[in-house]
Structure 1
């Protein structure tokens, strides 16, 4: 393909199927429903809010640890079959959470099962195919793909609220599970696939084979661990700030209505952040794009400290944090493909998704612990300022993107190639 527009002309169906798959997959759906069922589950079961929330943490950590396994399956057997089967399995296991008896151990096992099976319905798989269809416009395509989380935030809470009103919290799970089952899976079956060699963009293959490093080569590369630490820092700083934002705002003397408006602002800034950063990635060196995007949230954390009720600063802080969240997911997929290639992308992305998922699952617990111990979020906000700065500065040490096409041309045909 030689023209920039041809990538979208050939790959738009795959991109749309991936966007819907992410929207109704295991990454955003549990996150967008948990807040609506905590109260009803607490009333019926008598479990504490912390005990109920721990189920979500178990899900997130289990899924993150298994991300490299699903990445390997996508590399080995093709991304299409892994994405479709995992999305179907996620729908089934998510529906089964509604059958949980009055046993918190079984409740935790149910969430562990959702994480065990559903991780293949996350960007670990969908982003692999999109990266294979797009090269010149890869950043923008990934930004569009990950707008699936914004679509989920618009659709899933409304379906959850309606189904709880009609069928109770138990009925909510099978009703919401119909979204991946009846929309994401059929669309993926019709449109989601990897490109044939003649459809792939230039710079992706040589001699019909995908270019890039193996996982073992990546693990020996300093840049891999630089990215790993940077991703963990951002997720640890942002995850709890998002979940606890309504409570943070309350400490500034503001009411629930304003808190809802601030959360809406975060959603909009995530949407804009993904598109803008993706567009910039295609034109500039990605780490330099991320420098201001990851530094300004440090200022947001500074403004969110204390109890001053400056409404303008609160909204600006929400916008800054939303931009960082919008850039982070794009960053993992984009940098993994540019620095390590596509030959073993699934495994490598899975390893880089691991710190994101684990840190994002633990971050709310840390924010809550600091609040419980000190009566304020200030201590964790100060730590998050440092984490954002460290993350941004680490990325500046990554160096230029490798030229896998040039490297491949220097390998003699008889030279062994690691698989």
Structure 2
């Protein structure tokens, strides 16, 4: 990379980064996870469904979205991220609002209609997640890649700070059905218009030289080469283990706090503090990744939620302890999301980034989707979250420790006959 490119990365790409931040914030990655915890009480009151039944939709959504992540990554690689990301924002916003159309009937079929609406969200919303947005940011930044990705993924922090407050207010003021419609305004009325005017991939001459060959084309491993690389699987299993521990704690945070006698309005504040933790984790992790090897950064940061799980054991935590635990949990979540995008680009390059990132997003999405049900099932059957919180303490340490075995970043990538789409095709997209 030449010195001019190093100096100009943020000057050239800041508008794209801004659009990406809002796209991540109000896309399908954070919003469903930030609102579903607030639907437990109203749905139990209206339909008599169990906690497990009420949280199954997030599993349905997450599993479908995770399985489709490589496909949407391929679409972004092939046709450009702008088209995929913007159309997915439209689809996600409309389908999320449609959940508010769930029938009022007490019939058993109502539960399956509710599930079907969530299926639709999963089928069409995944293109509005970091699978797409991070591809563009990785193509604008290299020298300050860690910081840029940290800023991009601040979007989930913004969602965690704002969306729970809006969701809690909307349910209290207008009911849970209206909440889905109100929250859908974030992708449709904020992220979409800003993304339309500001979001794009760089032209070849705007790319950092470090991600291109001498001919100016993107370099990187193919998906097949990545799947044969032990480092891919170390990252994959680390993501799986950490997400299994974190996802259930995050989604069940409101009912966990209720077991501690903390009311829903204070629980919303804890979720906001958790969002601040995610924000801090994003920026600090990004800065550290630009200066130090990822394994040294990842291990201590991913051990922090073990402390959080310990603090949430029992039923006698006060607001201050719960808030501190929420902050630590959020900080580690911010670190993990940064790491997925950073490690995918540094170890496997950018030529097939969308597909490879999609495969690495898969364990994150699957584990985040199934973990809430595991937590809820433990609570329903054993009367306490303590057993699963205890398991989570060890999971955080093991998951973080796996990344210590990744080794040095590759300086070159194997030659491949695959080629990227032509600049003209991407410009048209």
Provide TM-score, normalisation by structure 2. Answer: 0.89
1:417 alignment partner in structure 2: 417
Q: 1:247 to 1:341 in 2, by over 3 A?
A: same
What secondary structure sits across from 2:200 in the alignment? coil
- The alignment covers a number of residue pairs equal to 411
In structure 1, the partner of 2:82 is 80
User: 1:174-205: per-residue Cα shift (whole Å, max 9, x none)?
Assistant: 33323212221121111111101110012111
Answering whether residue 275 of structure 2 is matched by residue 273 of structure 1, we say no
Extract unaligned runs of 5+ from structure 2. 420-429
Match of 1:232 in 2: 240
Residue of structure 1 aligned with 2:102, choices 100, 103, 109: 100
Distance in 1 between the 2:357 and 2:378 partners? 32
Residue 288 of structure 1 pairs with residue 289 of structure 2: no
- Looking at structure 1, the residues matched to 34 and 149 of structure 2 have their Cα atoms a distance apart, in angstroms, of 21
What pairs up with 1:373-392 in 2 under 5 angstroms?
Answer: 373-392=381-400
Return 5+ residue gaps in structure 1 as ranges.
Answer: none
CA distance in 1, matches of 2:128, 2:90: 9
For the 8 Å contact 2:162–2:272, the answer to whether it is kept is: no
**Which whole-Å CA distance do the structure 1 matches of 2:169 and 2:396 have between them?**
38
> In the superposition, relative to structure 1, how do residues 170 and 368 fare at CA in structure 2: closer, same or farther (>3 Å)?
closer
Residue 137 (structure 2) pairs with residue 136 (structure 1): no
State the Cα distance separating 1:273 from its structure 2 match. Answer: 1.0
In structure 2, relative to structure 1, the CA distance for the partners of 1:41 and 1:373 (3 Å cut) is closer
Tell which deviates more after alignment, 54-63 or 292-301: 292-301
**Matching of residues 122-201 of structure 1 within 5 Å:** 122-161=129-168, 163-164=170-171, 167-201=174-208
For the structure 1 residues 391 and 342, does the alpha-carbon distance in structure 2 shift closer, same or farther, using more than 3 Å as the test? same
1:109-124 to 2 correspondences below 5 Å: 109-124=116-131
- Specify the alignment match of 1:301 in structure 2: 309
Shift of 1:364: 1.7
Structure 1 residue 418: Cα displacement = 4.2
Alpha-carbon shift at residue 247 of structure 1 (Å): 4.3
Equivalent residue for 2:224, pick from 216, 220, 224? 216
1:54 Cα offset (Å): 1.3
Deviation at 1:257, TM superposition (A): 6.6
1:208 is displaced (CA, Å) by 2.4
State whether residues 212 and 218 of structure 2, in contact with CA within 8 Å, keep that contact through their aligned partners in structure 1. Answer: yes
In the aligned structure 2, how far is the partner of 1:164 from the partner of 1:296?
A: 32
- Other structure's SS at 2:210 match: coil
Relative to 1, partners in 2 of residues 1:392 and 1:20: Cα closer, same or farther, differing over 3 Å? same
Alpha-carbon offset, residue 312 of structure 1? 6.3
| Aligned position for 2:356 | 348
The residue aligned with 2:26 is: 24
User: CA 1:182–1:77 in 2, change beyond 3 Å: closer, same or farther?
Assistant: same
Task: Tell me what 1:9 maps to.
Answer: 11
State the shift of 1:241 in Å: 1.8
What is the CA deviation profile of residues 234-278 of structure 1, one whole-angstrom value per residue up to 9, with x for unaligned ones?
A: 111111122333444455566667655543332221111110001
Q: Per-residue deviation at 1:163?
A: 4.5
Closer/same/farther in 2, CA of residues 153 and 382 from structure 1, 3 Å limit:
closer
Residues 1:248 and 1:107: Cα distance change in structure 2 (over 3 Å) = closer
Deviation of the 1:381 alpha carbon: 2.0
- The yes-or-no answer on 1:35 pairing with 2:42 is no
Cα distance 1:269–1:170, how it changes in 2: closer, same or farther (>3 A)? closer
Quote the offset at 1:216 in angstroms: 0.7
CA distance in 2, matches of 1:362, 1:15: 31
| 1:164 Cα deviation from its structure 2 partner | 4.4
2:60 match: 58
In 1: Cα distance, 2:320 partner to 2:179 partner: 37
1:372 is matched with 380
CA 1:128–1:363 in 2, change beyond 3 Å: closer, same or farther?
Answer: same
